[in-house]
């Protein structure tokens, strides 16, 4: 199938090893919205954005050839062909000649009869010929941003960054009152149960005082569904001082429109962040367990 598949190639004045390392740093040139390792043989990694959910397995990994097998995909831009990428393969062939390294890129199976061919081929052309090439040559690519893949909302208050940071970590006063565990220390874990059944399990994977807090969803089990759509996603709270005020930007990285829960979760986060957490910061009283 490779003969009719999408192909492109680039050449750079970098060593074969530098090129190999750059390709494997997928977050630097293709997407910041990745879950999983991108540089280990047999590892899997997943990209999620508002249009495309795709999981790759690294089937071959050498300085001459890198192969990603597409395990699953969901592209909601094309309602009649949601899973076109499945059973296709991404191939990077790398050769070095007289100080120049060549990359031959193939999306094997992405052929002109695909509904997504025009859009997807243009996207790969940009990411390989512009973003990856720039990343190899200068260390700066142009990957898909975090906000593109996720639900994001923000507000600004006349409070200090310290006050906002402390309120974010006081989760019981703005989100769920009956949380079990620690919500205010790095590597702390907390859980929420309904009728004795686990609903959420979070781990705090990053805490930068007065600037940033990140939660990882370790486990999630919504009532009346077996889908664990939140599992493996992250919740990001970014705090910045702007013109004498403080902005809080909340992002649920990986919460995307294909999810069954998207509209419900989007509405809930809008309320918990923009009403409950906002009121806790400004007035000293939030509205946990309201939505």
Residues 94-120 pLDDT 10s: 999 988 999 999 999 999 999 999 999
Task: Give residue 53's pLDDT.
Answer: 80
- Residue showing tokens 């293709």: 30
**Measured distance CA(184)–CA(175) in Å, rounded:** 14
Which candidate, 151, 152, 168, 176, places its Cα nearest to that of 290? Answer: 176
Q: What is the pLDDT of residues 132-168, one digit of tens each?
A: 999 999 999 999 876 666 788 999 999 999 999 999 9
CB hemisphere CA count around 6 (13 angstroms): 22
Query: Across the chain, what does the average pLDDT equal?
Result: 91
Structure confidence at residue 169 as a pLDDT band (50, 70, 90): very high
Dihedral of the alpha carbons of 117, 120, 123, 125, in degrees to the nearest 10: -50
Task: Give residue 259's pLDDT.
Answer: 80
CATH code for the domain defined by 150-283: 3.30.530.20
**Measured distance CA(224)–CA(227) in Å, rounded:** 9
Task: State percent of the chain over pLDDT 70.
Answer: 95
**Measured distance CA(116)–CA(70) in Å, rounded:** 16
Mean pLDDT value of segment 76-84: 74
Sheet of 89-97, strand order: 6-12, 100-108, 89-97, 65-75, 52-61, 44-48, 34-36
The token duo for 197 is: 């059944």
How would you class 172 by CB atoms within 10 Å of its CB: exposed for 0-12, middle for 13-18, buried for 19 or more? middle
Q: Which of 5-9, 207-211, 260-264 has the lowest mean pLDDT?
A: 260-264
The token duo for 174 is: 């703005």
CATH code for the domain defined by 2-138: 3.30.530.20
Assess whether pLDDT exceeds 70 at residue 224: no
The token duo for 270 is: 């809008």
150-283: same fold as 2-138?
yes
The token duo for 133 is: 């090439």
DSSP state of 143: P
Task: Give residue 146's pLDDT.
Answer: 67
* DSSP-assigned states of every residue in 173-184: GTT-TT-EE-SS
Which candidate, 10, 3, 5, 4, places its Cα nearest to that of 93? Answer: 10
Structure confidence at residue 79 as a pLDDT band (50, 70, 90): low
Task: Give residue 76's pLDDT.
Answer: 65
Q: Per-domain residue ranges for the chain?
A: 2-138, 150-283
């Amino acid at each position: 199938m490779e003969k009719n598949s999408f192909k492109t190639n680039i050449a750079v004045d970098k060593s074969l090893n530098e090129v190999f390392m750059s390709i494997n740093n997928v977050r630097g040139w293709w997407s910041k919205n990745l879950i999983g390792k991108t540089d280990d043989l047999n590892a899997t990694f997943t990209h999620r954005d508002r249009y495309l959910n795709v999981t790759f397995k690294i089937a071959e990994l050498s300085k001459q050839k890198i192969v990603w097998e597409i395990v699953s995909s969901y592209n909601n831009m094309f309602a009649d062909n949601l899973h076109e990428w499945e059973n296709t393969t991404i191939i990077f062939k790398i050769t070095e000649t007289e100080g120049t390294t060549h990359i031959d890129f193939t999306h094997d199976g992405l052929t002109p009869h695909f509904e997504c061919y025009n859009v997807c081929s243009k996207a790969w052309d940009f990411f390989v010929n512009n973003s990856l090439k720039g990343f190899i040559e200068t260390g700066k690519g142009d990957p898909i941003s975090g906000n593109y893949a996720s639900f994001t909302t923000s507000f600004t208050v006349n409070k200090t960054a310290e006050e906002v940071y402390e309120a974010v970590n006081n989760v019981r006063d703005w989100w769920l009152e009956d949380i079990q565990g620690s919500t205010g220390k790095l590597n702390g874990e907390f859980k929420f149960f309904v009728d004795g059944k686990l609903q959420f399990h979070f781990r705090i994977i990053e805490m930068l005082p007065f600037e940033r807090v990140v939660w990882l969803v370790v486990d999630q089990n919504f009532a009346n569904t077996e889908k664990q759509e939140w599992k493996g996603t992250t919740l990001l709270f970014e705090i910045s001082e702007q013109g004498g005020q403080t902005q809080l930007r909340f992002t649920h990285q990986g919460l995307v429109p294909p999810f069954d829960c998207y509209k419900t979760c989007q509405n809930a986060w809008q309320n918990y962040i923009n009403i409950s957490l906002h009121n806790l910061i400004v007035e000293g009283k939030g509205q946990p367990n309201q939505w």
